[in-house]
Structure 1
Amino acid sequence: MINRVRSRRYRSALSLLSFVMPAFALYLLFLVIPMLQGSYYSFTDWNGLNKTYGFVGFRNFVEAIRDDHYFRSAIWFTAKYVVCAVVFQNVLALLLALLIESRRKAKGVFRTIFFMPNMLSVIISTFMWVFVFSKVVPALSEHKGLSFLGLSWLGEPSVSFWTLLIVSVWGGVGTLMLIYMSAIQGIPQHLKEAAIIDGAQPLHMFRYITMPLIAHALTICIFLTLNSSFKVYDLVYALTGGGPGRGTQVITMNILEEAYQGNNRYGYASSKAIILFLIIFVITMIQVTVMKKREVEA
């Protein structure tokens, strides 16, 4: 009897491993091993081509932080972009979720409309926005006399920042909206009814009932937007190419430029990638830890 139970457990464990191992092997092959190799190369002067290279210790990290003006500028621009993208995407997604959930009819239609941008490729949707900002908006400015539309949306760094933000919010708000809607739908109805009976106003219901009970969704959405905003590349590449000049260059573009686009300093680029990883790791750990405590308190 005991042997039969052990045999059954063994077959069950083997069956689970057969499902897990292919995914784990791919994860190991395409993420863990390259990350470990990149960590090693960050301490070398490898150019990505030669078989020989020298060990330079922390010289790459010191150069990136102390001497590389373009890298520091990319960090500063990325930080501004991350803060604005996280705030605007989450605020707008939460407002849309609340508005759609307050409607009794056509919820599915509105969900579909606001989620549609997520169904498009980032590159395709970005090229569409390039056409809008380079052709449609100037035409409207000329024919309607709206001077503010005549700004150089893709050619002026201070304006291009807001152009990037508009496109990122447009493309990212749909997924966050669905997460918030799912959390709102999970709020027990009897709590809402009790609050209404007690005379709670909509603002009080949002502050004392809705927000505490969707804190877990807020944690997830901020985590997702933090990660995607720090690692943004394709949107910026297709919309501005990091220009004009280097005015809209993010960290990921700076790293790839160092590794592949003429510089061929693969070891130095790897050290920048490690710095980016540490920045993301520290910020997301702080964010998750602080917000998880709020969930427990709620």
Structure 2
Amino acid sequence: MSNRSKKATMSLILFVLPAFVLYVIFLVIPMLQGSFYSFTDWDGLNKSYNLVGIQNFIEAIRDDARFRNSILFTLKYVIFAVVLQNALALLLALLIESQKRAKGFFRTIFFMPNMLSIIISTFMWVFVFTKVMPALSQFAALKFLNISWLGDPNISFWTIMLVSIWGGVGTLMIIYMSAIQGIPQHLKEAAIIDGASPFHMLRYITLPLIAHALTICIFLTMNSSFKVYDLIYALTGGGPARATQVITMNILEEAYQLNYRYGYASAKAIILFLMILIITIIQVTIMKKREVEA
């Protein structure tokens, strides 16, 4: 290796080293520690603990009804979030790209919620649902607006979904628009000359050529939905009666609020990690097979 190559390699190492050190300190080491504590009965406070093997995992899956309910609610949330956010984002991207004017205006309008902090925007929505809706219902005699948006288990899920879509669709829309703009123009023109309808254009030209964007957006939505916490905590706090409690809230409640069972909560976190890993591998594998080169 020449001196020039050695200097380039050393420069690269020095450039990457700070980020790598921070990655190891704040991600790898805590992950390894959490994995170890998941096999113990540590309470997170005392220095002493006992190894319990896989007992924490067995208890979480077999005996913990609250944890199972949080898994079911999380899966329900993930499914609807992935489908609705991506469908709406793709629809908006297609509609905006079909416009010859005001593209920048519409991009700004739909992306603006992403510029706000999740907590700030969520508290804004709490104000809307608890103050604005009842007042509007009384002022305009719209009785259907005067409902328990956050207190009814059957309604609170769709309230959460509304806020989730409002806050997450903008980023996905931008990704889809970038992918649509990357479709070669000659393919579109050839399809139009051949008499392809808008539906056939979408099915046989647009969707296959933006499959890579679909893979990315579904991955991002799925990953963030499995780990959602702040949005639901600010809206409902997991209520009413833990009806909207997701896995992350159940884990933190177990570790720091309810029983101080840090080892048991670590086992639940490992289960969540394995769920995300397995589902992500399946999703990316399936989606990658559908991608085509332009």
| TM-score, scaled to structure 1 | 0.97
Query: 1:224 aligns to what?
Result: 220
Query: 1:131 aligns to what?
Result: 127
Q: Superposition pairs for residues 90-109 of structure 1, below 5 Å?
A: 90-109=86-105
Query: 1:117 aligns to what?
Result: 113
> Deviation per CA, 1:216-254, whole angstroms, max 9, x where unpaired?
000000000000000000001111100111011000000
Query: 1:29 aligns to what?
Result: 25
8 Å contact from structure 2 (residues 41, 263) kept in 1: yes
Residue from 244, 248, 255 that aligns with 1:248:
244
> How many Å apart are 1:101 and its aligned residue?
0.3
Query: 1:235 aligns to what?
Result: 231
Distance in 2 (CA, whole Å) between partners of 1:172 and 1:277 is 22
Task: Provide runs of 4+ in structure 1 moved above 4 Å.
Answer: none
> How many Å apart are 1:150 and its aligned residue?
1.5
- Give the secondary-structure state (helix, strand or coil) at the position aligned to 2:138: helix
Distance in 2 (CA, whole Å) between partners of 1:147 and 1:79 is 32
**Structure 2 residue 198 is the aligned partner of structure 1 residue 172:** no
Residue from 257, 261, 266 that aligns with 1:265:
261
Distance in 1 (CA, whole Å) between partners of 2:64 and 2:142 is 41
Residue from 51, 59, 78 that aligns with 2:55:
59
Alignment-mate amino acid for residue 223 of structure 1: F
Distance in 2 (CA, whole Å) between partners of 1:28 and 1:164 is 35
**Structure 2 residue 15 is the aligned partner of structure 1 residue 19:** yes
Distance in 2 (CA, whole Å) between partners of 1:262 and 1:63 is 16
Distance in 1 (CA, whole Å) between partners of 2:75 and 2:105 is 35
**Structure 2 residue 84 is the aligned partner of structure 1 residue 88:** yes
Unaligned runs of 5+ in 1: none
> Deviation per CA, 1:17-72, whole angstroms, max 9, x where unpaired?
11111111111111111001000000000000111100000000000000001000
> How many Å apart are 1:143 and its aligned residue?
2.2
Query: 1:187 aligns to what?
Result: 183
**Taking every aligned residue pair, what percent have the same amino acid on both sides?**
76
Unaligned runs of 5+ in 2: none
Query: 2:284 aligns to what?
Result: 288
**Structure 2 residue 8 is the aligned partner of structure 1 residue 9:** no
> How many Å apart are 1:138 and its aligned residue?
1.3
> How many Å apart are 1:144 and its aligned residue?
2.0
Count of aligned pairs? 294
Distance in 1 (CA, whole Å) between partners of 2:128 and 2:290 is 42
Alignment-mate amino acid for residue 255 of structure 2: A
> How many Å apart are 1:132 and its aligned residue?
0.3
Distance in 1 (CA, whole Å) between partners of 2:120 and 2:220 is 22
| TM-score, scaled to structure 2 | 0.98
